[in-house]
Structure 1
Amino acid sequence: MEKGWIKLQTYTDAIRGEIDKQVLAENGIPAVLLNKQDSSFMFGKIDLFVNERDFNHAQELIVENDSETNEN
């Protein structure tokens, strides 16, 4: 990973990771998913990275989105 990027979240569910990445993109925050899952058995982790300068705002957006998802 390039310098200046930091791990925001780790997932085991690829869809959840894609949703959070999309939420960040919609709010102007570039994000990268690094999928370390085994393609046959789907075990392992998926890491979501953002630039260090966006970390706090990105974290707030993810928490807010999770809260809204859990309410519905």
Structure 2
Amino acid sequence: MEKGWIKVRTYTQALEAEIVKQMLEEHDIAAVLINKQDSSYLFGKIELYVNESDEAIATVLINSASFTEEDNAN
């Protein structure tokens, strides 16, 4: 990952990760998903990254939404 990006969450469900990414982008926060899941068996994690300058607002937005399966990146 390029310098200046920070992982804010990890997910196991691709659809949920995409929904969160879209929600952030609707609030003008650039977000990148890195899918580290096995393509055959779908185990592994999907990591959500945002720019370091957007970390605080992205965390607030994600926490205020009612998503069920999110893991803290820390």
TM-score over 0.5 for the pair: yes
Higher helix share: 1
Q: What count of residue pairs does the alignment treat as equivalent? A: 68
2:4 corresponds to 1:13: no
Distance 2:19 2:63 in 1: 13
Q: Which runs of 5+ in 2 are unaligned?
A: 69-74
Moved over 4 A (4+): none
TM-score, length of structure 1 as denominator length: 0.90
* Structure 1 residue aligned with 2:4: 4
TM-score, length of structure 2 as denominator length: 0.88
Q: Structure with the greater relative contact order (CA < 8 A, sep ≥ 6): 1 or 2?
A: 2
Q: Which runs of 5+ in 1 are unaligned?
A: none
- Give how far 1:23 is off: 0.5
2:54 corresponds to 1:54: yes
The share of aligned pairs that are identical, in percent, is: 57
* Structure 1 residue aligned with 2:38: 38
